[in-house]
Structure 1
Amino acid sequence: MKKTFAALLPAFFAFASLQAAPQLIQCETKVDMRSASTEDQGYITLSENGRSGKCFKITCPADRKGGILFHPWTQPMIKVESASAPVKVTVWVKGKGRGSFGFLSYTRDKKIFYPPKTNTKFEVDSSDKWVKLELSYTPEAGKEYANKVGFIMPHISIESGSEILFDDLETELTPPKNEIKIEE
């Protein structure tokens, strides 16, 4: 029994230290991203001059009241295995305008709710250079919402008068480290 346990221990530690692979939205087809409202879908176009291949160009007219919310379509929700798992959302932007990005939270039965600090505002004014935006978030232990998160979905929102290119939207969940104590 001790030999079997000793032989399995390295494999267990290797498995326990694995982290979830980042979810990358590469923006290669128009259906990879959609607006929250079908009437806004026309504001999304594909551009050939992306950071890595094609990218999304999202334009919000200056006379429009309020912004426009977009999210991935081909991978709409990512399952959260642990309520205390840190989440990192990264997106590359170029253009001119303001908006916010982050993720929407859903319960295990897929009802939306809004814990604090799950999105961040940005402003970009760069027509020739890609700018990396990043949001890192860890649910606060003990908060009433911490154990409710079952799924997340990355999102981007842009404000009126903005014209921004988006590429390589990535969401990464880092599972909490497993702690093993062996007593003799």
Structure 2
Amino acid sequence: MAAAPTQIEAELYYLIARFLQSGPCNKSAQVLVQELEEHQLIPRRLDWEGKEHRRSFEDLVAANAHIPPDYLLKICERIGPLLDKEIPQSVPGVQTLLGVGRQSLLRDAKDCKSTLWNGSAFAALHRGRPPELPVNYVKPPNVGFLFEALTILELYVDQAGLCLLSAGIKDVCHMASYITF
């Protein structure tokens, strides 16, 4: 038997099962309910003497009749606007549960402070071309930082004893797209 879930985990399992029951995933909901009962992940009930007893999912639904099936969805819809009041997101109006950085629902104040570019940070990126800019870098580097990064890259390659082909025209054009004046 798995370790007993925390109160929050047990409630989350319950809310997920209720959400699945209210949508097109009834079979998934049935499987989840079956597993919750099988692994005894449903919170036990206490009788008037304080003794714990197992209960079925249906008993839990009846005990929580005040919780509608779409309760989890309503919670998710309210979290973003509440968090936006405390820590604004980078793109206002975009509501997503899957965001990253300043769009993440798990963001905190330290995630939202901006970091200035410097030459070594830009040089550390893959050949000056990140697959995606780091989320805490607000503005792209300016020309001075770009040339500093290229200098650092040349020195590193020269010290390694390799022949440096200056970044290649495609890479230079890509890096130039990051230049700000």
**Shorter-chain TM-score tier:** under 0.3
Greater RCO, 1 or 2 (C-alpha within 8 Å, sep 6+): 1
Which structure has greater helix proportion? 2
Tell me the TM-score normalised to structure 2 length.
0.20
Name the structure with the higher strand share. 1
Normalization by structure 1: what TM-score? Answer: 0.20
Q: Between Structure 1 and Structure 2, whose CA radius of gyration is higher?
A: 2
